[in-house]
A = this chain, B = another copy of it.
Amino acid sequence: MESAMPESTAAYQPTPRTVPTRARERAAYDRELVHGILDEAYVCHLGFVRDGAPVVLPTLYGRVDERLYVHGSTGSRPLRMTSADGGGGAGTESADDEAGTGLAVCLTVTHVDGLVLARSAFHHSINYRSVVVHGIARQVTDPAERRTALDAIVDHVVPGRSHDSRPANARELPATAVIRLDLDEVSAKVRTGGPNDDPEDMTLPHWAGVVPLTRGYGMPVPSDDLDPAIALPDYLSVL
């Protein structure tokens, strides 16, 4: 359904599971907003079902247009579960196609932007931006797409870095599993602004407002064994 839409559509199509039951005014489907939230984070939280129970693991990822990529050892649990040779237990939603057996996943990314202090305990909150992606993750077997995906994961950590490191070699490539999750069933949720206190609480003697959270970078720490002649690259000095 969604995959038949042109990628130039400005927004993802809401589905029953991407429309929240509460705080609907915070839900958003704009592709640019979603891409920005995804690109700014370092880890996602990847959920899948194993033996009928949920598992949520933090992992690196990369984005190429409307596709997310996650990589890992071919021996790791979620990646084995996407492989065609089995490993998927109860609760996995499998589908065979040219890309192999799929694994039902939910991939979530969250930024915490501020602490929201209301006069009432009930209205305390945080300002945040999150993206939730539902879908079937599939192993990538095409060599060219695997290289693109691995570059994207490295460049997600530090933009431009894939061109300044040794690419995966013939020993590393077969040991690395790459899985793909298409951005089809996607929603963002964003809270901004101050507390939403009830009118009758406005005269209470408690401080109310927002404490912004900031994120930054410390000074890069070279490896002890780094050749001192190798200067800090530009893509790090601009962080």
Contacts and interface: CB of A to CB of B under 8 A. Distances in A.
A95 interface: no
Contact of A207 (B42, B43, B58, B230): B230
A65 interface: no
A3 interface: no
Contacts of A220: 209-212
Interface stretch (A28-36, A101-109, A138-146): A101-109
Among A53, A130, A224, the one with the most B-chain Cβ atoms within 10 Å of its Cβ is: A53
Interface in A213-233: 213-227, 230-233
A164 B58 contact: no
Interface in A107-126: 107-108, 110, 112, 114-115, 117-122, 124-126
Interface of A: 17, 21-22, 42-43, 45-50, 52-58, 60, 73, 75-77, 91, 93, 104-108, 110, 112, 114-115, 117-122, 124-126, 128, 130, 132, 134, 150-151, 153-154, 157-158, 161-162, 164-169, 172, 176, 194-195, 197, 201-227, 230-233, 236, 239
7 contacts: A117-B158, A121-B165, A122-B168, A124-B161, A194-B221, A212-B220, A214-B216
Given A21-B76, A45-B47, A120-B165, 17 more contacts: A45-B56, A47-B106, A53-B106, A54-B54, A54-B105, A56-B107, A56-B108, A115-B158, A117-B161, A117-B236, A122-B169, A166-B201, A166-B204, A197-B223, A202-B225, A207-B233, A215-B216
